[in-house]
Every structure is written in structure tokens, then in C-alpha cells.
Structure 1
Amino acid sequence: MEINPIKWDWELMVFLNNLSPDVLDPFWSFVTYTKHWIPFFILLIALFFYKSPAKKGGLGLLFVLACVGLTHLITDFTKSLVMRSRPNTEEALSEVIKVLYEPSHFSFFSGHASTSFAATVFIFLSLKSKYRYLGLIFIWPILFSLSRIFVGVHFPSDVIVGGVVGTILAILFYELYNFALKKLVHVGN
């Protein structure tokens, strides 16, 4: 039995998009905009400095910004290479999904998912030993990523691949960060 990945993705898109009741539309519309998360971003940045020396906090901030920046570049490059249409631009889907937001650029893969997972995984790996409930920050990329399906602008595969790419890059940057920390400690002695 052959599985058609496009059909599977489209069917899952319709199912998930319609799973959210209309009463939650304002919530998903709010969650999907990056600017609404700025206070949370400031909190995350502050975590690097709260229980760490300034140099270590600054290095952590530098690495998380580099990680998110590279993730964003890779995401945009992939979108322009793959050129996958968004669900909100597909005529066959327009009758069966809710569209609450209408970007026109390409879909694969989700920048919301890739960058939010890149930041969250890096921050979690870097600071998990200092903050007891730090795992709660994963609520952010999950809601942020799911919002893209519920507002009708990303297929589930866009979100899944974005999350995986962001996670892989975060792990790589975390390893580089640890290497840089060892060099910083060595130079400091």
C-alpha cells in the first residue's frame, strides 16, 4: 500500500485546522504574531543573566541570537528553493479550512516552528540546571507552531520539519556554546 504524503498532509491539515472551535480563533490569531511574544522574549534573555556572570550570560545571548539567525536564514533559503504553496492559497483547501491570516510567500518549512524551537531548545539545554521549571518554556514553541495550522497558513509537515530543523540547529549551537565556554574559562585562568 502506497502512502501519498501530500494527501496525508492535506487531510491532516483539514482535520487539525477544523479541530479548533471558532471561539478560539482570536486566541490563535493573537498567538501567531511574533510581536505579541516580545515580553516573553525579554524574560528568556533575562534568564541568561539572572544566575550567571555577565560574560557567560552575554555569550549565551550571543549564541542564541546566532542560532535563531542562522535558523531563519536556512528557513528562508529552503522556502525559496522548495516554493511550496501555503494552504491558504490552495483552491482545493479554501472551502474546507479556516484562514485567519494570509501571508503570500512560500510555506515549506515553518519559520515560526524552526526559530521558536531553535531558541527554546538552546535556552533549555543551556539553563536547565539553573531553573527548576524551565521545561515550561516549551509551551511557547508548541503554541506558536500550532497556531500556524489553526490560522490556515502552514501544513502539518511544515511545522514538524521546522521544529526538527530548529531542534537540530539548537543542539549544534549548544555544543559550540559549550566549546566556547571552555575556551572562555581557559582564557580566564
Structure 2
Amino acid sequence: MNIESNPASWKNIWRDNRMYFIAFIIFWLIAFGIYLGITQGDDILFFNRRRTALGDTFFRYGTHMGEEIAYIFVGVILIFYSYRNLIMIPIIGVVVTAVSALLKEIFRHPRPFRWFQENGMDGLLQTIEGVTINMGSNSFPSGHTMSAFTLYTFLALCLPRKKINSVILIALPIMVGVSRIYLIKHFLEDVLVGALVGVILGVLLYKLQYVLFKYPHPWMDGHLKLIRRTKVKEIIEEVQPDPDREKSH
């Protein structure tokens, strides 16, 4: 298989998804610049002091777009595009969980609320109703952010209509990352690393599917097909009696 016909070649991945990657690079560099210009905890306080009822509700539910429900949603989409892509969804979940757990265990950074408490500043924080406060030492990196960027990067590489899908699929994981800071779950540094690792994993797992299953594959590259309206009409016409034919009898 030559490079031009291989959808998982580095050249084709960049060419077909350039808009997505450029948008990610811009987001990441802006966020990294902000990180360099603030001190620890400023990111949490920035959002905490600007909380609104609408923001609380939006981010409390939006953060779930990096959880299991999002994997189910993406799986439903991919079943209509490629069984190859669909089979990778549980693999993505396992890999993200393992990598996130390993990095958290290595670095053992305190969660924001614990950090504020240890520095005698927890009185500055306003908790959000319905949101559990994490007090552990597993803040770095953000697992939700890593999960979202892995999942939606993989989906962006799989889907057609690259321009509109790139906008939607970069906005979703960014929203998840912001939600983790807003909900006092993670610092900006946790989100930055989670996002970077997530995009890398998304690309590598996209390439992995073409290693696990040869391309093209007789059934892996198939997908679930819905019956078209024209097909339904043809079926109905076949089972309905023909009035003119009955008159002739």
C-alpha cells in the first residue's frame, strides 16, 4: 500500500486534518502563555470569582463530554462510518484510563481544593452545588481533558466534512478542559498536559487501527447502512397489489 492511498500516513493525517491541528496549536499556545503569566491558583480564582448560575449548570453537565457517555455517543456515530473506527472506541477508553492513572501516580500533585487548604486559602473558594470536592493527590494531568482530546481527535480524523467537524470537535474538548478549572477539579497546567497527551494518543490510536486491521479490509471498512427512503418506497410497491393488474384479471 503506497503512502497516498494510506489514510493513516503522517502526510495524509496532516493534510486532511490541518484545520483541526492548527486550531489545537493556537489554543494550546494561548493557554500556555496564560500559564506562564500567572501564579499557582490564579486560574482557579479567576473562574471562581466570575461564577454564574448559568455557568455552574453549563460546566457541571458539559464536563461529562469527557466521560463514558461521550464514548457511547461517539460509538453510535462511528457505526455508520466504519466498523474499524467503532472497534477502537473501547480500546481508546482503556488506553486513556491506563495512561492517565500512570501519570497521576507518578506526579501525585494535589487537587486544587487540597492545595488551597494546605496553603490556608480555602476560604477564598466558593463551592458549586452538586459538585464533589476532590482532596486527593491525583490532579496532574487532567484525566477528563486527556479523555476528551483523545476521543474527539480520533473522531475528527475519522469523519468527513473536515472544516465544520474540526470546529465542533476542537470546541468540545476545550470546553471540557475549561470545565475542570471552573469546577475546581484541576489547575491550568493539568489541563494543558492532559490536552497535549490526549491529541498525541488520538493520533497514535487512529494509526493503530490500520496496524491491527489491514487496509482495505473486507468487512472492517464496512458500516451500518440505513434503508433509504427510495428503497422503502420500492419495498412498499413490491408488496402492494397493482390495481390495474387486478382489473385485467
CA–CA distance in structure 2, aligned partners of residues 178 and 80 of structure 1: 31
Tell me the secondary structure at the aligned position of residue 9 of structure 1: coil
CA–CA distance in structure 1, aligned partners of residues 40 and 66 of structure 2: 29
Percent of aligned pairs sharing the same letter: 23
Gaps of 5+ in 2: 1-34, 220-249
C-alpha deviation, 1:104, in angstroms: 3.3
1:46/1:172 CA distance change after superposition, 3 Å? same
Instruction: Spell out the pairing of 1:75-86 with structure 2 (5 A cutoff).
Output: 75-86=100-111
Is the CA contact 1:64–1:122 (under 8 Å) kept in the aligned structure 2? no
| Structure 1 residue 165 corresponds to structure 2 residue 190 | no
Q: Which residue of 1 aligns with 2:79?
A: 49
**What code does the residue aligned with 2:165 have?**
L
Q: Which residue of 2 aligns with 1:146?
A: 178
1:65/1:9 CA distance change after superposition, 3 Å? farther
| Structure 1 residue 96 corresponds to structure 2 residue 124 | yes
TM-score by structure 1 length?
Answer: 0.78
Is the CA contact 2:67–2:144 (under 8 Å) kept in the aligned structure 1? no
| Structure 1 residue 58 corresponds to structure 2 residue 60 | no
1:8/1:25 CA distance change after superposition, 3 Å? same
C-alpha deviation, 1:174, in angstroms: 1.4
Tell me the secondary structure at the aligned position of residue 32 of structure 1: helix
CA–CA distance in structure 1, aligned partners of residues 64 and 156 of structure 2: 23
Instruction: Give the CA RMSD over aligned residues.
Output: 2.9
C-alpha deviation, 1:67, in angstroms: 2.4
Larger radius of gyration: 2
Tell me the secondary structure at the aligned position of residue 108 of structure 1: coil
C-alpha deviation, 1:99, in angstroms: 3.1
- Provide Cα deviations, 1:23-53, integer angstroms capped at 9, x if missing partner: 4223222223469883x54442222222x3x
Instruction: Spell out the pairing of 1:14-29 with structure 2 (5 A cutoff).
Output: 14-29=45-60
Q: Which residue of 2 aligns with 1:72?
A: 97
Is the CA contact 2:141–2:191 (under 8 Å) kept in the aligned structure 1? yes
Gaps of 5+ in 1: none
Tell me the matched-pair count: 177
CA–CA distance in structure 2, aligned partners of residues 25 and 186 of structure 1: 46
- Provide Cα deviations, 1:38-93, integer angstroms capped at 9, x if missing partner: 3x54442222222x3xxxx2221222331232122111111122111101112134
CA–CA distance in structure 2, aligned partners of residues 60 and 49 of structure 1: 8
Is the CA contact 1:113–1:159 (under 8 Å) kept in the aligned structure 2? yes
1:140/1:173 CA distance change after superposition, 3 Å? same
C-alpha deviation, 1:10, in angstroms: 2.2
TM-score by structure 2 length?
Answer: 0.61
Is the CA contact 2:142–2:190 (under 8 Å) kept in the aligned structure 1? yes
